């Protein structure tokens, strides 16, 4: 098979690495890709993920058999629809299904209508009505911009003053652009967070092994929310009992609800879960692989990813027995100091060769490119996702942190407590 991956971060590098293991893969392309993906795929850095017509033309020119759309923006914007109209075979939900991630108001209403456990909420498209509601609401409270906001459109407010300022930020100052035209105000939940990603073919859902993200920028879960500073898989807190509950009341229920709404979902659903005292509840849905969830999950998957992708497209996922290795993986993100606010780019990355031939160690590139002299330089807030597998979570964590020392670049920044929660398990 000739395959084109759309995207250019650590997630796409992990997907590309997984496809490289398939005996069915003949040729791999990626737009725009990055310097790491370029080692295993032919990249076209001049094409951006929102340039739908250029992507379709490139896919046709290369005569690919499959286009795998990985990031949220193009999925929510309808890239899958455009590619399908051009006669291409596509992995990823179409626009009317990707709304599961694209609108928090939609996803909350869906959960309410189909009795899928989630936090209580109200939706507002008028700031005055939101402010009036907050006057008598219980604090802390959570404000969420309705649309896509790079994972940053969620404000946890401890006081009424903070909540008032939050409404201003989201709905009046439009800090997150049009994503803030509408806002969800949600009950604050406490508990452990777990991410579960699942392949979906419209009717059948196959959950993958669990993971736990670290969204805040600084050690001890301090600092701003980021795209994710590292994670581990599996989560020791995601027990068999919790899994049984989620399969019945959350995973299958979500797939059935989308089908009932005429929005059949095919692709990957990412369930952000909070394990509360009252049981698991949905924090959020994403319509795609997580980044860096893909890095710790796919390296442990035993199946040929192309078989699973085909089954999702063809509606034959019930024939697939999804299997994961009985081990663990940890990913530590090496970022540019200052991320997620402001940071410099263009610094040379050294030591990448240290990963050559090392089994169970992976250096996934998130933000890298070649400069004019052909050197690999930093090109983003998140730069590399240093990932290692081990027999246990402790071993995987030790190996991942060991490997963070193998590479270097100016302003290299990482959290030092990725996976600390496993000590409490
Ligand atoms: P989201 O993008 O919806 O996953 O939100 C980002 C982060 O905000 C989550 O990973 C949680 O840590 C936190 N969060 C979101 N909603 C809630 C909630 N209702 N209660 C407590 N924390 C929340
Ligand atoms: N790591 C969280 C996300 O991809 O949304």
**In this predicted model, what pLDDT tens digit does every residue of 310-333 receive, in sequence order?**
999 999 999 999 999 999 999 999
Find out whether the peptide bond into 113 is cis, omega within 30 degrees of 0. no
Mean pLDDT of the chain: 96
Res 150: pLDDT: 76
What whole-number distance in Å separates Cα of residue 238 and Cα of residue 257? 24
What whole-number distance in Å separates Cα of residue 79 and Cα of residue 357? 37
Report the residue among 290, 294, 297, 331 best suited for mutation to probe ligand 2: largest number of ligand atoms under 8 A from its CB.
290
Ligand 1 centroid to 350 CA: how many Å? 36
Ligand 2 centroid to 106 CA: how many Å? 19
Closest ligand, as measured to the CA of 176 = 1
Ligand 1 centroid to 230 CA: how many Å? 17
Residue 159's alpha-carbon distances to 128, 134, 142, 380, 410, in angstroms, are 18, 10, 11, 34, 39
Res 261: pLDDT: 98
What whole-number distance in Å separates Cα of residue 23 and Cα of residue 3? 13
What whole-number distance in Å separates Cα of residue 376 and Cα of residue 288? 28
The pTM is what? 0.97
Tens-digit pLDDT string for the chain (425 aa): 999 999 999 999 999 999 999 999 999 999 999 999 999 999 999 999 999 999 999 999 999 999 999 999 999 999 999 999 999 999 999 999 999 999 999 999 999 999 999 999 999 999 999 999 999 999 999 999 999 987 778 999 999 999 999 999 999 999 999 999 999 999 999 999 999 999 999 999 999 999 999 999 999 999 988 889 999 999 999 999 999 999 999 999 999 999 999 999 999 999 999 999 999 999 999 999 999 999 999 999 999 999 999 999 999 999 999 999 999 999 999 999 999 999 999 999 999 999 999 999 999 999 999 999 999 999 999 999 999 999 999 999 999 999 999 999 999 999 999 999 999 88
CA geometry: angle 42, 23, 355, nearest 5 deg: 60
pLDDT in tens, 59-89: 999 999 999 999 999 999 999 999 999 999 9
């Amino acid at each position: 098979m000739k395959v084109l991956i759309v995207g250019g971060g650590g997630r796409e590098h992990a997907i590309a690495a997984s496809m490289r293991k398939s005996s069915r893969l003949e040729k791999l392309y990626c737009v725009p890709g990055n310097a790491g993906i370029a080692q295993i795929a032919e990249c076209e850095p001049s094409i951006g993920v929102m340039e739908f017509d250029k992507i379709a033309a490139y896919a046709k020119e290369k005569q690919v058999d499959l286009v795998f759309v990985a990031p949220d923006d193009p999925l929510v914007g309808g890239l899958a629809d455009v590619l399908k109209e051009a006669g291409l075979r596509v992995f990823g939900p179409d626009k009317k299904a990707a709304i599961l991630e694209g609108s928090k108001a939609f996803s909350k209403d869906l959960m309410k209508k189909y009795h899928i456990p989630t936090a209580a909420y109200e939706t507002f498209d008028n700031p005055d009505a939101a402010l009036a509601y907050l006057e008598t609401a219980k604090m802390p409270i959570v404000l969420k911009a309705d649309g896509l906001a790079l994972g940053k459109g969620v404000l946890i407010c401890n006081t009424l003053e903070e909540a008032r300022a939050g409404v201003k930020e989201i709905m009046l100052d439009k800090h997150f652009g049009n994503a803030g035209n509408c806002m969800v105000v949600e009950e604050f939940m406490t508990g452990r967070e777990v991410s579960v990603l699942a392949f979906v073919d419209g009717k059948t859902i196959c959950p993958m092994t669990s993971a736990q993200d670290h969204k805040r920028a600084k050690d001890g879960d301090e600092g701003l929310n980021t795209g994710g500073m590292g994670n581990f898989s599996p989560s020791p807190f995601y027990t068999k009992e919790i899994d049984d509950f989620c399969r019945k009341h959350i995973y299958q229920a979500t797939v059935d609800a989308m089908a009932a709404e005429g929005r059949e979902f095919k692709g990957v659903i990412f369930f952000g879960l909070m394990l509360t005292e009252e049981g698991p509840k949905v924090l959020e849905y994403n319509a795609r692989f997580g980044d860096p969830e893909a890095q710790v999950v796919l390296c442990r998957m035993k199946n040929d990813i192309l078989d699973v992708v085909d089954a999702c497209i063809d509606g034959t996922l019930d024939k697939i027995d999804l299997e994961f290795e009985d081990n663990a993986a940890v990913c530590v993100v090496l970022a540019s100091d200052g991320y997620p606010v402001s940071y410099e780019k263009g610094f040379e990355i050294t030591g990448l060769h240290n990963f050559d031939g090392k089994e169970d160690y992976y250096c996934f590139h998130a933000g890298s490119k070649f400069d004019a002299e052909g050197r690999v330089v930093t090109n983003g807030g998140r730069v590399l996702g240093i990932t290692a597998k081990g027999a246990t979570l402790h071993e995987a964590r030790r190996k991942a942190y060991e490997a963070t020392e193998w590479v270097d670049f100016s302003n290299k920044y990482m959290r030092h407590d990725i996976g600390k929660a496993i000590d409490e398990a």
